[in-house]
Amino acid sequence: MTSRGICAFAAFAAVSIASLKLPFLKQRPTLPNALKSSPLHSKLSLALQLAQTAGALQTDSISSTLSLNTKTNAVDIATDCDIACEKLIAHHIRASFPTDKIIGEEGVADSGGYEFTKEPTWIIDPIDGTTNFISGNKMFCVSIAYAVNGVIEMACIYAPLLEETYLAIRGSGAFLNGARIPQLTKKESLASCNVVFEFGYVRGGDGGRSMCAAAEALLNVGVRSMRQYGSGVLDICWCATGAVDACYAGIAGEGWKIWDYAASGLILSEAG
C-alpha cells in the first residue's frame, strides 16, 4: 500500500474520518454541462467527489492484506476497506445534508435491515464486487444514488481500475466518462444477445440447481454468450452501453438489494 493508503487506513482506525479532507485527488471532478443546470447538481458533484475519493483509497488498498468479515454466509463478505469507504462517504454526506437518510450496504449488514421511505435518501454500495476487489480483479466499483419520494433521481458510479465513471440525473440523460450514452437499437432475438448473470451467494441444494437450470435454459434457447462478471452494478451499466444485452439474478431467491440496482437502474433508464 502507498503512504497515502496507509495514512487513510490509520485515520479510519483512529475513527477520525473527518480529518480526511476532500478531495485528496489531483484535481476536482467536473460534471457534464447537461447535468450542471439540474437542481441536483450539488448532490451529484458531492457524490462524484466521494466516489472518486473512495476509489482512490481502494486503488491503494487492492494489493494489501485486508481483513474479511462474513455477512449472510462464508462467501458473502466485506473487507475493512468496504467498511471504511462507506463510513467516509456517509460522514461527508451527513456533513453536507444532515437531514437526509442514508442506506449503506455495510451499515445494513450491521443493523440487520433497512426501510426505504419517501424521505430524501442516499443509497451507497462502497464496493460492489468485493470478491473481485480482494482477488485483484478490476471489475468493482463505488455506487451512490439519491432518491426523493421513493424515486431514484441521481446516480454516480465509479470503477477506479476500469476508469469508468457513470453519471445520471432523472430527465437529463446518462453519461459515461463525460459523454452521453446513446440509445441502443433493440435486439429482436436472444440468439444475438450476450447475457450476463450473477449466481450470488447460494451454494448447493435446490438453490444451486435452480441457478444452473436457468443458465441451461438460456443456453438451450441459443444465446450468443453468457458471462458472469461479479458486479451487479456494472452488469446493468454495461446493459446501458451495449457491452452486454441482458442481465438477470435472483433465480434462487438471492435477488439483488436496493444498493445493487438503485444507481445503475437510473443509468440504464436514462440511457434509454
Contact criterion met (CB below 8 Å) for 132 and 231: yes
pLDDT digits (tens, 9 = 90+) for 129-181: 998 998 889 999 999 999 999 999 999 999 999 999 999 999 999 999 999 99
> What's the confidence (pLDDT) of residue 22?
54
- Please state, in angstroms and rounded to a whole number, the distance separating the CA atoms of residues 206 and 202: 9
- Please state, in angstroms and rounded to a whole number, the distance separating the CA atoms of residues 237 and 176: 9
- Please state, in angstroms and rounded to a whole number, the distance separating the CA atoms of residues 123 and 191: 36
pLDDT digits (tens, 9 = 90+) for 247-262: 887 665 666 789 999 9
> What's the confidence (pLDDT) of residue 80?
85
What's the sign of the alpha-carbon dihedral 181, 126, 101, 17? negative
pLDDT digits (tens, 9 = 90+) for 194-216: 999 887 776 767 877 888 888 88
Residue 24 identity (one-letter amino acid) = F
